Amino acid sequence: MPKFDYVALDARGQESRGTVEASSTNDAVAGLRKSGLFPTSVTDAGKGGGVAVAVAVAKKAGPSSGGVAVAVAQKGKAKSKGSSKFFEKTTVESAILMIFTRQLATLIDAGLPLLRGLDVLGKQEKDPVLKKIITSISEAVQSGSTFSESLTSHPKVFNRLYVNMVKAGELGGVLDVVLNRLAEFQEKAQKLRNKVKSAMTYPVIVLAIAMIILVFLLAFIVPKFEQIFKDLLGNKPLPDLTRIIMGLSGNIVANWYIVLAAVIALVVGWKMFSSSSKGQITLDKLALSLPLFGDLTRKSSISRFSRTLGTLVTSGVPILQALIITRETAGNSVIADAVTKVHDAVKEGESIVTPLEASGVFPPIVISMVDVGEETGQLPDMLLKVADVYDDEVDTTVDALTSLLEPLMIVFLAVIVGTIVIALFLPMVDLLKNMSAPGGAGG
C-alpha cells in the first residue's frame, strides 16, 4: 500500500510530522482527520515534492451535514476564492458577538479544545457574517496562528480591546476566564448603551413629530384658512399673530425648494463639522455641559472608562497598553484627552490621580476611589467598583430624565400646535363678535 508523508496540527495547534499508509491521498487525509489531526500537507513518500494537499475547513453544502470539506489541489494550481462583494455585510451586531463570546467561554471552560469549540459554534451560528468569520478563524488556528492573531484579521468585528484581552488570556493560560470577563463587559456595555439611547430617543422622536406637524399645518392647512378669511373679512386687518403665521406659511409654500435646499445644506454642514477633529471636540465639550443630558453623558463616559480600563488590567493587559485601548474606546474626545495625559504620566512613573484630577471631568469621588485603589494595589477592582456605581447613577438619571421629559415634550408639542390653532381662530372670534354686535348681521 502506498505511503504518504504528512504535516498536521493537533487540537492544540501543535505541528506533527509522520508517514501514513493509504490507498490514495484522499484516504490518507481522511484517516488523519479520524485520528484527530488536521493535515496541512500530504505528499507521496516515494516522490519528494510531489502532490501537496491544502486543507480548508468549510461547511458542507447540505443542511444536515456538519463535517468539514477537504480540498485537494496540486501545487501552483490552487484557485483563490477571494472575490470580494461590494455590498456584502462585514459587521456583526454587538448582541450577537456577546452571545458568541459567552458560548465560547462556556465550551472552553467545559474542557473542549479551542478548535472543537469553534467548530461547534460555527455549526449552530445563524448570522452569516459571524459564521463565515468563525470558519476563517478556525482555519487560521489550524494553520498555526494563535487565536488572538486570527482575530486581528477581522478588525470590524473584533476591536483592539477584544484582541488584547484574548491575547492576555492566552499568555496567562486563562482564556476561558478572560472570555467570561469579556462577555460580562460586553453585556454591561450593551446595557449602558441601551439606557442612554432610550433616554435620547424619546425627545428626538417628539421633535421629529412636532416638525412634521408644523410643516403639514403651514403647507396645507393655513393656506386654506387664508382664502376663507379673504372671502369672509375682505380687506379687514388680521390679528398680528395670524399675519405672522400666514406670512410664514406663504414663504414655505412659495419657496419650498429654498427651504429644502437649506435643510440639506444644514444636514451636510452638520455632518462635515461633526466629522472634523475640531468639530468633534466642540460637540463633545457641549455634550458634557448640556443642561439635561450633560450629566447623563458624563456619567456614562466615566462608567465606560472605568469598566474598560478595569477589565483590561484585571485580564492581564499591561497598564500602558490598556490606557491606549481605553483612550480609543472612550467615545468622547474630552475623556480621551484626559486618558492621554494619564498615559503620559504613568509612562513617566507618576500617579494616575493627578492628571485625572487636572482634567476637570472626573468628580472627586472617582478621584478618591482611584487614589485608594492605587495606594492599596487594588486599582482594577476599584475601577470596576466605580463602573458599577456609575451604572447605577445612569439608571437613576435615565429614570429622572424620562419622567421630566415626558411632560416637557407634551407641553412643547402643545405650544407649537396650539399657537397655529389660536392664530387661525383669532379672526373667527373677531368675525363672531361683529356678527353678534347690534346691527352687525344686517349691516
CATH number at residue 131: 1.20.81.30
pLDDT for residue 82 = 43
239 within domain boundaries? yes
302 within domain boundaries? yes
For residues 122 and 107, the answer to whether their CB atoms sit within 8 Å is no
89 within domain boundaries? no
Q: Which of 164, 187, 210 is the last residue of a domain?
A: 187
What span, in angstroms and rounded, lies between the C-alpha atoms of 302 and 256? 45
Question: How many CA atoms, within 13 angstroms, populate the side-chain half-sphere of residue 204?
Answer: 7
Residues 70 and 98 in one domain: no
- Grid cell at residue 375: 495606594
Residues 68 and 102 in one domain: no
Residues 219 and 295 in one domain: yes
Residues 170 and 251 in one domain: no
Q: How many helices (H) and strands (E) does the chain have?
A: 17, 3
Domain membership of residue 49 as a residue range? 1-74
Residues 55 and 165 in one domain: no
Residues 281 and 415 in one domain: yes
Provide the domain count of the chain.
Answer: 3
pLDDT for residue 268 = 93
62 within domain boundaries? yes
pLDDT for residue 357 = 86
pLDDT for residue 40 = 65
Using DSSP's 3-state secondary structure scheme, residue 57 falls into coil
Residues 173 and 47 in one domain: no
What is the pTM (predicted TM-score) of this model? 0.63
Question: How many CA atoms, within 13 angstroms, populate the side-chain half-sphere of residue 382?
Answer: 15
Residues 183 and 130 in one domain: yes
Residues 181 and 216 in one domain: no
85 within domain boundaries? no
- Grid cell at residue 26: 484522499
79 within domain boundaries? no
Q: Which of 13, 46, 74 is the last residue of a domain?
A: 74
pLDDT for residue 443 = 43
pLDDT for residue 14 = 60
pLDDT in tens, the chain (443 residues): 788 888 776 655 566 788 888 887 777 877 877 777 766 667 777 554 433 333 333 333 333 333 333 333 333 333 434 444 445 667 888 888 888 988 898 888 888 888 888 988 988 888 889 999 999 998 888 888 889 889 988 888 888 888 888 888 888 778 888 888 888 888 888 888 888 887 778 788 888 888 888 888 888 888 888 878 877 776 777 888 888 888 888 888 888 888 889 989 999 998 998 888 888 888 888 888 888 788 888 888 898 889 888 888 888 888 888 888 888 888 888 888 888 988 888 888 888 888 888 888 888 888 999 889 888 888 888 999 999 899 888 888 888 888 888 888 888 888 888 888 888 888 887 777 766 655 554 44
pLDDT for residue 264 = 93
Residues 243 and 197 in one domain: yes
133 within domain boundaries? yes
301 within domain boundaries? yes
Helix 379-436 and helix 364-376: axis angle, to 10°?
Answer: 170
Q: Which of 137, 165, 187 is the last residue of a domain?
A: 187
Q: How far apart are the first and last CA of the chain?
A: 122
Say which residues have a Cβ less than 8 Å from residue 388's Cβ, sequence separation at least 6.
Answer: none
Residue 388, CA distances (Å) to 299, 302, 394 in order: 11, 11, 10
Residue 207, CA distances (Å) to 38, 283, 413 in order: 59, 20, 8
Residues 150 and 195 in one domain: no
Residues 316 and 198 in one domain: yes
